[in-house]
Structure 1
Amino acid sequence: MTATDLSDLIPRFDLRGMDLQLDRMQAALEALRSPCQEVPAIQVAGTNGKGSIASFLASALHRAEIRCGLTTSPHLISWCERICVDGRPIAHDCLRDALIALRPISDHHRLTPFEQLLAVALSHFHREQVELLVLEVGLGGRLDATTAHRCRPVIALAAIGLDHCEHLGETLTLIAREKAAVITPGATVISAAQPPAVTAVIEETCRQQGADLHWVAPLPDDWQLGLAGVMQRHNAAVARAALQALAPLGWTVDENAIRCGFAEARWPGRLQSARWQNHPLLLDGAHNPPAAAQLALERGRWPGEDAGVCWILAMQAHKQAPAMLEHLLDPSDRAWIVPVPDHHSWTRSRLAEQCPQWHNQLLEADSGEAALLEIQARGAWPRPMPVVAGSLYLLGDLFARAVVTAE
């Protein structure tokens, strides 16, 4: 998929700032005559793994021949990735026309970019006559735009951890309350194991709402998954139970469709093998401490990792970069710190000032591509392969400019 320029219709997210509230989105949907208001949704909330769960769900539903509308965020290369029906992204011209048609309502209600895209998605799904929705929460939950869709009988919870603390709260309990607030009365709620503070919030919220809570164990090794990483067995288990929870609503997704769908699932930018000038790379969008911890667990599978890993890291300025480095860096590692394209970013000097223990391990480059050239200039290509992480925006930029190619 190629990049799509919609800058004349969708302002940059950082220019609008974060503005979480439901009233705006609810009013806009009413003005649109409430598209898909009767279509049930599986809402996917959490901190890390939401997109993976959504990908498993959509892939299995496609295998089961259930017409599904899927919204995810952020996109990697194209805005069109965020709105899919039966695995097919919305066409660029269709998205542009829909945004233009939405503009009077969007301007009147002052919709954020995320809200604009969700409004377009629901209208598109209405026209496409989807049977079921999979809605990935953008940020938080209680005030997220996806929560404006009232018919959400199944809630799938990904791992909840510390991220976006400036908007959601500084503790796990506060963040969990914001995310668990998506749970509707009588809903079926699915979650893998969570930290104790998060577990307590989920259980209390389910009691208050009369929701049916199911804790699931990771899928065993005999399940073939299209997504790499140990954590994907937890995500797939949540997706499987969410699909099984559809039976009382009238949809039966058999085990074969689930297994085939999970094996065919794809979610780029997550433990993804890629190449640069025929050299191997590993790409991962880990952008917060919990995701960095999961990525660090994977390094034991990389041959030669004990001799040191070359990291290329881009981290937005508001992210908890020191905590991420605590998880990622071993004493024998080196890390090139590069900017996140078009975003305020951590610099090597700022990191070295706050974390002097890593001063000698941190290097700096003007871009991800420049860092790759520096690594190449040092001689033999590293083993294990360099790992590019810290921001999906960096990965998307590398793909969009064809600097790297997927394997």
Structure 2
Amino acid sequence: MNPLQPGSSRDDLDDLLPRFDLRGMDLSLQRMQEALKELQHPAAAVPAVQVVGTNGKGSIACFIHHGLIAAGLRSGLTVSPHLLSWCERIRVNDQLITIEELRSLLQGLQPVVTTCRLTPFEQLICAALVHFEAQRPDWLVLEAGLGGRLDATTAHPHRPLIAIGAIGLDHREHLGTTLEAIATEKAAAIPPGSHVVSAAQLPEVQRVLERTAAAVNASLRWVEPLANDWTLGLPGELQRSNAAVARAALEWIGGDASESISVAAMRKGFAAARWPGRLQWMQWQGRRLRVDGAHNPPAAAALAKERCRWRAADQAQSWVLAIQAHKQAPAMLKHLLQPKDQAWIIPVPEHRSWSLEQLQHAAPELAHQLRGAANATEAFHQLEHDGWPQAAPVVAGSLYLIGHLLETHQLQAE
């Protein structure tokens, strides 16, 4: 499954889905609960695994989804964000919702949208659940958008299984300024009596998860990264932890003899998994580069760790970075940049972003390694003028940037 086929373009639903940043972040579970009641609780009878965390949520959801498909079960998946098309966010097995279906659903939801004052993300989750009601999958895989306690996916009433990705410091303006506060917000999604699976977490996060699970009588299983004899369709060593969470989730789903999921099915599904924009090789005018959606300090730390495994790890690395203004860009730079590296700072298209000057002021010890460009193309031309680096450049900082570069055909996936 690859939603980014040649000729794909970003679907225009601006008349129905205003830009997320125009309304601002407005977390509330009550609106979604009221909306789902108005909609007569679509897909309420379909069990869901909800995927929460800071990083790795999309990868975990992708692995679970493909494992379910390989086992012969119908899986309904909703994820965020998308790269090129809103349709990437809603699918059943390998079939993405069509733009015509999504537009029709969103148009039909407008009375509820108005009455309940739904945010764009809430509209999409409602549309996904209505679509799943019609398609009747065996399981839903719901990737939380932000937090957990007040996330739109938490309004789904039948979430017996919670899969947790790495929890770190991000969205502090909405979830809390400490790791414990953020973990508490995310752990609050755990329903009473549910089953929780998680890879290793930082000690503060582990304590919160254990305390929360005990308080709501939920079982909690910790998992270790998968062994190297598992072939994964997603690159990067960190994916072995994400896949381990997915495997434990699938094992729990398969605990019912009627839904038995074999190890062979899991291996097949994990090998088939694809998730664009994550440590992916692409080309600009025939020259190779890597792209990654790392957009916060924990993800930058994970990307820096991956860099140590690359063939050219000891060579100077060129970075092209676009980072939204509300992100912790100085901390990201400190994770990514080694002494000989250079980074081109560019804006995130259509979003408020860190500028070169702001970053030089905020991280003066790295100022001499930073260069500015108006956009990615200008940065690529500068790299070419200086002699394309032997170590492939890395584009990171925002999935919005990667989506824009694909949409405008500046980059081509290999």
Q: Secondary structure at the match of 2:109?
A: helix
One-letter amino acid matched to 2:412: T
Q: In the alignment, is the contact (CA less than 8 A) between 1:302 and 1:384 conserved in 2? A: no
How far apart in 1 are the matches of 2:141 and 2:181? 25
Which position in structure 2 is the counterpart of 1:111? 118
Decide which moves more: 102-111 or 195-204: 102-111
Which position in structure 1 is the counterpart of 2:303? 295
One-letter amino acid matched to 2:200: A
Per-residue deviation, residues 215-249 of structure 1 (Å, max 9, x unmatched)? 00000000000001111000000000001111345
Which position in structure 2 is the counterpart of 1:38? 45
How far apart in 1 are the matches of 2:304 and 2:196? 29
Matches within 5 A, 1:30-179: 30-179=37-186
How far apart in 2 are the matches of 1:175 and 1:331? 32
Q: Secondary structure at the match of 2:301?
A: helix
CA RMSD of aligned residues (A): 0.9
Runs (5+) with no aligned partner, structure 2: none
Q: Secondary structure at the match of 2:246?
A: helix
| Aligned-residue identity in percent | 56
CA shift for structure 1 position 360:
1.3
One-letter amino acid matched to 1:86: N
How far apart in 1 are the matches of 2:150 and 2:34? 14
How far apart in 2 are the matches of 1:248 and 1:182? 23
How far apart in 2 are the matches of 1:84 and 1:267? 14
How far apart in 1 are the matches of 2:117 and 2:334? 40
Q: Secondary structure at the match of 1:84?
A: strand
The answer to whether structure 1 residue 216 and structure 2 residue 213 are counterparts is no
Select 1:315's aligned residue among 323, 328, 334: 323
Q: In the alignment, is the contact (CA less than 8 A) between 1:316 and 1:343 conserved in 2? A: yes
Q: In the alignment, is the contact (CA less than 8 A) between 1:334 and 1:363 conserved in 2? A: yes
How far apart in 1 are the matches of 2:353 and 2:24? 16
Per-residue deviation, residues 181-226 of structure 1 (Å, max 9, x unmatched)? 1111111100010000000000001111111110000000000000
One-letter amino acid matched to 1:109: C
Q: Secondary structure at the match of 1:301?
A: coil
Which position in structure 2 is the counterpart of 1:334? 342
Which position in structure 1 is the counterpart of 2:273? 265
One-letter amino acid matched to 1:310: S
CA shift for structure 1 position 146:
0.3
Q: Secondary structure at the match of 2:332?
A: helix
Which position in structure 1 is the counterpart of 2:375? 367
Which position in structure 2 is the counterpart of 1:199? 206
How far apart in 2 are the matches of 1:365 and 1:221? 40
How far apart in 2 are the matches of 1:272 and 1:129? 33
CA shift for structure 1 position 307:
2.7
Q: In the alignment, is the contact (CA less than 8 A) between 2:51 and 2:143 conserved in 1? A: yes
Which position in structure 2 is the counterpart of 1:253? 261
CA shift for structure 1 position 130:
1.2
How far apart in 2 are the matches of 1:335 and 1:305? 16
Per-residue deviation, residues 91-136 of structure 1 (Å, max 9, x unmatched)? 0111111111111111111100000000000000111111110000
How far apart in 1 are the matches of 2:247 and 2:377? 39
Q: In the alignment, is the contact (CA less than 8 A) between 1:13 and 1:113 conserved in 2? A: yes
CA shift for structure 1 position 305:
3.2
How far apart in 2 are the matches of 1:154 and 1:267? 22
Select 1:238's aligned residue among 240, 245, 262: 245
What TM-score comes out, normalization by structure 2 length?
0.97
CA shift for structure 1 position 368:
1.2
Per-residue deviation, residues 333-370 of structure 1 (Å, max 9, x unmatched)? 00000000100000000000111111111001111121
Matches within 5 A, 1:341-356: 341-356=349-364
The answer to whether structure 1 residue 357 and structure 2 residue 362 are counterparts is no
Which position in structure 2 is the counterpart of 1:377? 385
One-letter amino acid matched to 1:305: A
How far apart in 2 are the matches of 1:359 and 1:43? 41
One-letter amino acid matched to 1:114: F
One-letter amino acid matched to 1:47: T
Q: In the alignment, is the contact (CA less than 8 A) between 1:63 and 1:257 conserved in 2? A: yes
One-letter amino acid matched to 1:345: S
What TM-score comes out, normalization by structure 1 length?
0.98
Give the count of matched residue pairs: 406
Q: In the alignment, is the contact (CA less than 8 A) between 2:65 and 2:77 conserved in 1? A: yes
How far apart in 2 are the matches of 1:130 and 1:307? 48
One-letter amino acid matched to 2:159: R
Q: Secondary structure at the match of 1:335?
A: strand
CA shift for structure 1 position 304:
2.9
How far apart in 2 are the matches of 1:248 and 1:60? 14
Q: In the alignment, is the contact (CA less than 8 A) between 1:305 and 1:383 conserved in 2? A: no
One-letter amino acid matched to 2:294: A
Q: In the alignment, is the contact (CA less than 8 A) between 2:46 and 2:136 conserved in 1? A: no
How far apart in 2 are the matches of 1:38 and 1:303? 49
How far apart in 1 are the matches of 2:312 and 2:249? 39
One-letter amino acid matched to 1:253: I
Decide which moves more: 301-310 or 65-74: 301-310
How far apart in 2 are the matches of 1:151 and 1:141? 15
The structure 1 segments of at least 4 consecutive aligned residues displaced by more than 3 Å after TM superposition are none
How far apart in 1 are the matches of 2:14 and 2:385? 37
How far apart in 2 are the matches of 1:142 and 1:304? 42
